C-alpha cells in the first residue's frame, strides 16, 4: 500500500505569462515624478517621485500589456524627455517642459500565445 498526495508533494507550478524587456529612460533637467508599467499581471504602475536625471530602467512587461511611461515636472519646471524601447528598439519619445509639464510614451506588446485545449469537442 502507498500513500498518494502527501503534503510534501510540490504544488503544480502555475503557467507564467511571457514577458518582453522594456527600457524606460528620462533625460533633462528638473525634478520629475516618473510612473511606468513593470512586471505584474494587474498592470499597475510603479511611481517614483523626485527622480534624479538622467534615469533609466529596464523591466519585464507581460505580453498583451501596453508598456507606458509618464513624467511630470514639479512647480519649478524644467525640461525632460521620456523614451521607450521594446526589446532594444526605440518605440517612442516625448518632451515635457515648464511648470507641471507632462509627457507620456507608450508602445504595444503582442498578446501572449494562446494555449491549445486538448479536450475534444
pLDDT at 12: 47
What DSSP line would sit under 4-69, residue for residue? -S-TTSPPPPPPPPPEEEEEEEEEEES-EEEEEE-S-TT-PEEEEEEEPSSEEEEEEEETTS--EE
pLDDT at 6 over 70: no
CATH code, 19-106: 2.60.40
pLDDT at 112: 77
Closest by CA to 113, choosing from 56, 64, 79, 75, is 64
- Domain extents in the chain: 19-106
DSSP for residue 98: S
pLDDT at 64: 86
Closest by CA to 82, choosing from 119, 11, 34, is 34
Which three cell numbers, joined as nine digits, stand for 81?
524627455
The answer to whether 36 and 46 are in contact (CB under 8 A) is yes
Of all residues in the chain, the percent with pLDDT exceeding 90 is: 54
pLDDT tens-digit series, residues 65-109:
889 999 999 999 999 999 999 999 999 999 999 999 999 999 998
pLDDT tens-digit series, residues 12-65:
445 577 889 999 999 998 889 999 987 665 557 899 999 989 999 999 988 888
As beta bridge partners, residue 103 has: 71
pLDDT at 111: 80
Rounded to two decimals, what is the model's pTM? 0.76
CA angle 65, 61, 68 (to 5 degrees): 65
Amino acid at each position: 500500500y502507498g500513500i498518494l498526495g502527501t503534503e510534501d508533494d510540490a504544488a503544480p507550478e502555475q503557467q507564467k505569462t511571457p514577458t518582453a524587456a522594456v527600457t524606460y529612460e528620462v533625460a533633462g533637467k528638473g525634478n520629475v515624478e516618473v510612473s511606468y508599467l513593470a512586471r505584474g499581471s494587474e498592470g499597475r504602475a510603479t511611481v517614483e517621485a523626485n527622480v534624479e536625471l538622467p534615469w533609466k530602467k529596464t523591466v519585464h512587461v507581460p505580453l498583451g500589456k501596453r508598456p507606458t511611461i509618464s513624467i511630470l515636472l514639479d512647480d519649478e519646471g524644467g525640461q525632460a524627455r521620456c523614451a521607450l524601447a521594446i526589446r532594444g528598439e526605440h518605440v517612442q519619445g516625448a518632451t515635457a517642459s515648464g511648470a507641471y509639464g507632462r509627457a507620456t510614451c507608450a508602445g504595444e506588446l503582442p498578446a501572449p500565445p494562446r494555449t491549445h485545449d486538448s479536450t475534444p469537442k
